Structure 1
Amino acid sequence: MNLVTTVLNVTAPVFLLASIGFVWVRRGLPYDVGFVTRLAMTLGVPCLIFTALMRTEIAPAALTAVSLAALAAYGAVTLLMAGLVWAAGLELRTYLAPLIFGNTGNLGLPLALFAFGDEGLGYAVVIFAIMAIYSFTAGIWLVAGGGSVLRVLREPVVAATLLGALFLWRGWRTPDFVTNTLDLIGQLAIPLMLVTLGVAIARLQPESLGRPALFSALKLAGCTAAAVATGRLFALEPVAFAVLVLQISTPVAVTSYLIAAKYGADADAVAGLVVLSTLMSVVTLPLTLAFLI
C-alpha cells in the first residue's frame, strides 16, 4: 500500500496539471501554445536547469556516467526504432524521430523531481539536454533533410546546461539575489509545460488509433529495454539508473508533431503517436515508477 501511495503522489500532480490544460481547451478558452512554450523554453526551463546543476551535490563523475549511458541508450533506441520502421515499411521521415524522442521535458523533468528530489532532477536535466541536442540536429535532419549545429548552440536550454555544468565543476555560486530570481523564473517551467501538454493533447485529432497504439507500445518496450540494458552496462547507481529508464521511456513528445507539421511530414500520423503514447503513459509510467522505486 505504501508503494501505491508513493507512486500516486508522484504521478497524480503530473496528470492533474495536464488535465487542467485539457479541460481548459475543451471549454473553448483561449490558450496561446506558441507563446507559453516559448516562455517556458526560453526562460523557465533554462533557469530550472541552471539552478539545478549549480546546486546539485552529485559528483561530476556520476553525471559523466549518466551522460555516457544516455548517449548509449539513445544510440540503441535509434537502431531499434530504425529497424522497426524499416521492417514495417513506414516512411522514415515521419515515424523515426517520434519513435526515438520522448517527452523528457514536459513529463520526464517533473516526474524525476517528484520521485527522486533534487538529485533526480540533476540527472534528468542532463538527459533532457542530450535529447534536446540530438533532436535539434539529427531529429530535424531526419524530418526536414537538414540540421544545423549553430541552431543547437543558440538554444537557451543548451546554453543553460553548459553554464550550469561549468558552475558545478568549478563550485561557483551566483549571489543570493540572483539565485532567488532564477528560482522564481524556474518555478514557471514545470506547471507551464504540464498544462501546455494537456492543451496540445486536447487539440490533436488523430485520424486512426490502431497503428499508433501498436507503435506506441513497441516504442515503450524498445526504449525501456535499451535504457535498462545501458544503465546496467554502465553500472549506474540506483537513482541515476531510475532516472535514465524514466526519461528514455517517456511517451512521444508534442514537439515531434510540431516539427512534422513544419517540415511537411505526415503530421496526422505523428499526432496519433503523441495522443496514444501519452494516454498509455497514464498506466505505464506509474508501473515503471513502481518498478524503479
Structure 2
Amino acid sequence: MQLVLTVLEIVSPVFILALIGFGWVKAGHEYRIEFVTRLAMTLSIPALIFVALVNAKIEPAALTSLLMAATVGFAAVTAVAFVAVKVFKLEIRTYLAPLIFGNTGNLGLPLAYFAFGDEGLSYAVVVFAVMALWSFTFGVYVTAGGGHPGKVIKEPLVGATLLGGLFLWQGWTLPTFAMNTLDLLGQIAIPVMLITLGVAMARLQVNSMGRAVALSLGKVILCAGIAAVVGQWFDLAPVPFAVLVVQLATPVAVTSYMLAEKYGAQAQEVAGLVVASTFLSVIYLPVLLGLLL
C-alpha cells in the first residue's frame, strides 16, 4: 500500500499539470503553443539541463556509462522498430520515428525529477540529449526523406548539454548570480512542458485508434525490454537503470506528430499514436515505477 501511495505521489503532479493544459484549451482559452515551445526549447530547458549537470553530485564515469547505455539502447530500438515496420508493412516515413522516440522531454524529465530528485534529473537529461541528437538527425531524415545533420549543432539544448557536461567533468561552476538566474529560468521548464503536453493532446485530431493502441503497447514493451537488457549489460546502478528504462518507455513524442505534419507523412496516424500511447502511459508508467522503486 505504501508503494502504491509513493508511486501516485510521483506521477500525480505530472498528469495533473497535463490535465490543466488540456482543460485550458477545452475551456476555449488561448495558448500559443509555438511561442511557448520555442521559449522552452531555446531558454528554459537548456538552462534546466545546464544547471542540473553543473550541480550534479554524480561521478562523471557514471554519466559516461549511462551515455553509452542510452546510445546502445536507442540504436537497438531503432533496429528492432525498423524490422517491425517492414514485417507489418507499415509506411516507414509515418511509423518508424514514433516507434523510436518517446516523450523524454515533456514527460520523461519531470517524471525522473519527481521520482528520483536532482540525481534522477541529471541522468534523465543525458538520455534526453541522446534522443534529441538522434531525433534531429535520423528522425528528420526518415520522416522528411532527407536530413540536415548540421542543424543539431544549432540547437540550444545540445549546446547546454555539452557545456554542462564539460563543467561537470572539470568541476567548474559560474558566479552565484549567474547560476541563480539560470536556476530560476530552468524552474519554469517542467510545468511549462507538462501544460504544453496537455494543450497539444487537446488539439490533436484522431481517426482510428485500434492500430494506434496495438502499436503503442508494442512500443512500450519493446523499449522497456531493450532498456532493461542494456542497463543490465552496462551494470548500471539502480537510479540510472530506472531512469534509462522510464525514459525509453515514455509514450510517443508530440514532436513526432509535428514532424509528420511538416514533412507530409500521415500526420493523423501519428496523432493516434501520440494520444493512445499517452493515455496508456497513465496506466503503465505507475506500474513500471512500482517495479523499479
Short-chain TM bin:
over 0.9
Output the CA distance in 2 between the equivalents of 1:27 and 1:83.
43
For the residue of structure 2 that corresponds to 1:216, the secondary structure is helix
For the residue of structure 1 that corresponds to 2:236, the secondary structure is coil
Same amino acid, percent of matched pairs: 60
Which segment is superposed worse, 163-172 or 145-154?
145-154
Match of 1:132 in 2: 132
Give the alignment's Cα RMSD to 1 decimal: 0.5
Matching residue's letter, 1:115: A
Task: Measure how far apart 1:149 and its partner are.
Answer: 2.2
TM-score, normalised by the number of residues in structure 2: 0.99
Structure 2 counterparts to residues 181-192 of structure 1, below 5 A: 181-192=181-192
Match of 2:161 in 1: 161
Output the CA distance in 2 between the equivalents of 1:178 and 1:248.
33
Matching residue's letter, 2:259: I
Output the CA distance in 2 between the equivalents of 1:162 and 1:151.
15
For the residue of structure 2 that corresponds to 1:114, the secondary structure is helix
Match of 1:221 in 2: 221
Output the CA distance in 2 between the equivalents of 1:29 and 1:208.
28
Structure 2 counterparts to residues 9-28 of structure 1, below 5 A: 9-28=9-28
Residue 118 (structure 1) aligned with residue 107 (structure 2)? no
Output the CA distance in 2 between the equivalents of 1:49 and 1:216.
28
- Structure 1's unaligned 5+ residue stretches are none
Query: 1:161-214: CA deviations, max 9, x gaps?
Result: 000001001111111100110011000100000000000001112111100000
Output the CA distance in 2 between the equivalents of 1:131 and 1:144.
18
Query: 1:208-243: CA deviations, max 9, x gaps?
Result: 110000000000000011000000000000001000
Report runs of 4+ in structure 1 exceeding 4 Å deviation. Answer: none
Match of 1:86 in 2: 86
Query: 1:117-158: CA deviations, max 9, x gaps?
Result: 111111000000010000000000000011122200000000
Match of 1:148 in 2: 148
Matching residue's letter, 2:246: L
Matching residue's letter, 2:31: Y
Structure 2 counterparts to residues 185-204 of structure 1, below 5 A: 185-204=185-204
Match of 2:268 in 1: 268
Matching residue's letter, 2:220: L
Residue 174 (structure 1) aligned with residue 158 (structure 2)? no
Match of 2:237 in 1: 237
Output the CA distance in 1 between the equivalents of 2:52 and 2:149.
25
For the residue of structure 2 that corresponds to 1:246, the secondary structure is helix
Output the CA distance in 2 between the equivalents of 1:183 and 1:54.
11
Matching residue's letter, 2:278: T
Match of 2:278 in 1: 278
Query: 1:38-81: CA deviations, max 9, x gaps?
Result: 01110010000000000101101000000000011111111111
Output the CA distance in 2 between the equivalents of 1:24 and 1:17.
11
Output the CA distance in 1 between the equivalents of 2:126 and 2:78.
19
Match of 1:246 in 2: 246
Query: 1:14-40: CA deviations, max 9, x gaps?
Result: 000000000001111110000000011
Output the CA distance in 1 between the equivalents of 2:35 and 2:266.
24
Output the CA distance in 2 between the equivalents of 1:98 and 1:107.
15
Output the CA distance in 1 between the equivalents of 2:164 and 2:263.
32
Residue 32 (structure 1) aligned with residue 28 (structure 2)? no
Residue 56 (structure 1) aligned with residue 22 (structure 2)? no
Match of 2:65 in 1: 65
TM-score, normalised by the number of residues in structure 1: 0.99
